[in-house]
Amino acid sequence: MDTSITINLLDNILGYLSQAATHIKEGETNDWKFAILHTVSAIELSLKLRLQDEHWSLIFSDIDQANIDKLKTGDFKSVTLKDSIERIKNILQDDLIDEVKNKLIELYDLRNKIQHYQISVNSNELLSKVAFGVNFVLDELRRVQDDADFEEVKSLYKAVLDKCDSFQEFVAARFALIKSEVEGETLIECPQCWNKTLIISGGEKPFCPYCMYSDTIEGLADQLNEKENIEICPECEVEACIYMITGAEDYMEWVCLSCGESGDYVRCERCNRLKNDDGESMCSDCTKDWIDDPHT
């Protein structure tokens, strides 16, 4: 399908997100109302983006009226947030979890109340709701990360995060969202967002679900490694072991960016490669060579 429609949707989503984030940063009562309005608009569009990935006609309120010319001019009534959720379930067979669904509908209803009535709002309550909504959209955008224009998405994404990161509620909501993704993984501090949420696993590209940072193992090693060379890992034998701070009070140890193993490795006195600190001065290879020929 016409990629210009996707790009258009993306542009608008990021525009709303950025406006929402600006209001979050301001933090006055009226700003919260605007933050909700913009956040819900971004949610609506990101659900449409999902539907449009399947087929453009799905973003028409009445699919029977779907017409490519109307789509191009924007002259049509588009699907509501609630109907989008239904279509995602019934047509895409991609059900959102109930908790997420309910929160999205709650936000949608709240937006309508704010738009049409004079309501008093509790800013603490709004804060966590906006935080949820912005996080939801940011996560939706991660699905488009393979698109050609992703670099642009990525930098805008980063800009939104930067604006929101000083709000604890936002940060907490973000951590809650990525919890299942990082649980049980080997994590190190991300060089971009400084959270300990950079996933190191089995030779795949290191990736941070918090801020979407990713790099090759070599690229990441170059960024993190200052004091020592990149060494061959004694566990997986890939050249991806770096000496870095991993704990409180600047505690340092060797961490393999490929397999995720870490330890207080020492160097073999003969070949200088890293080895486990087992009390021997030589690594097992060198010990073997030395037994075979003690004169080498």
Binding site for Zn ion (CB under 5 A): 190, 192-193, 208, 210-211, 213, 233, 235-236, 256, 258-259, 268, 270-271, 283, 286
Cβ distance to Zn ion smaller for residue 53 or 289 = 289
What is the residue whose two structure tokens read 């109907």?
83
Helix (H) or strand (E) holding 202: none
Query: What is the C-alpha separation between 167 and 177, in angstroms, rounded?
Result: 16
Nearest to 197 by CA among 189, 126, 23: 189
Q: Considering the complex, what minimum distance in angstroms separates the CB of residue 199 from Zn ion?
A: 10
Task: Please count the CA atoms within 13 angstroms of the CA of 188 that sit on its side-chain side.
Answer: 29
Cβ distance to Zn ion smaller for residue 37 or 256 = 256
The Cβ of residue 166 has, within 10 Å, a number of other Cβ atoms equal to: 11
Cβ distance to Zn ion smaller for residue 101 or 270 = 270
Cβ distance to Zn ion smaller for residue 52 or 262 = 262
In 61-122, which residue ranges form alpha helices assigned H by DSSP? Answer: 68-73, 81-90, 98-116
Q: Considering the complex, what minimum distance in angstroms separates the CB of residue 220 from Zn ion?
A: 11
Q: Considering the complex, what minimum distance in angstroms separates the CB of residue 238 from Zn ion?
A: 5
The number of residues making up the chain comes to: 296
Cβ distance to Zn ion smaller for residue 41 or 258 = 258
Query: What is the C-alpha separation between 35 and 59, in angstroms, rounded?
Result: 24
Cβ distance to Zn ion smaller for residue 85 or 240 = 240
Straight-line distance from the first to the last Cα atom of the chain, in angstroms, rounded to the nearest whole number: 67
Q: Are 274 and 231 in contact (CB under 8 A)?
A: yes
One-letter identity of residue 230: I
Cβ distance to Zn ion smaller for residue 104 or 217 = 217
Q: Considering the complex, what minimum distance in angstroms separates the CB of residue 82 from Zn ion?
A: 34
Q: Considering the complex, what minimum distance in angstroms separates the CB of residue 12 from Zn ion?
A: 26
Q: Considering the complex, what minimum distance in angstroms separates the CB of residue 52 from Zn ion?
A: 29
Give 263's contacts (C-beta < 8 A, 6+ positions apart). 234, 253, 254, 276, 277
Q: Are 221 and 257 in contact (CB under 8 A)?
A: yes
Tell me how far CA of residue 225 lies from CA of 44, 76, 175, 241, 287, in angstroms.
43, 55, 27, 9, 30
Q: Considering the complex, what minimum distance in angstroms separates the CB of residue 71 from Zn ion?
A: 37
Q: Considering the complex, what minimum distance in angstroms separates the CB of residue 91 from Zn ion?
A: 34
Cβ distance to Zn ion smaller for residue 40 or 268 = 268
Query: What is the C-alpha separation between 78 and 67, in angstroms, rounded?
Result: 12
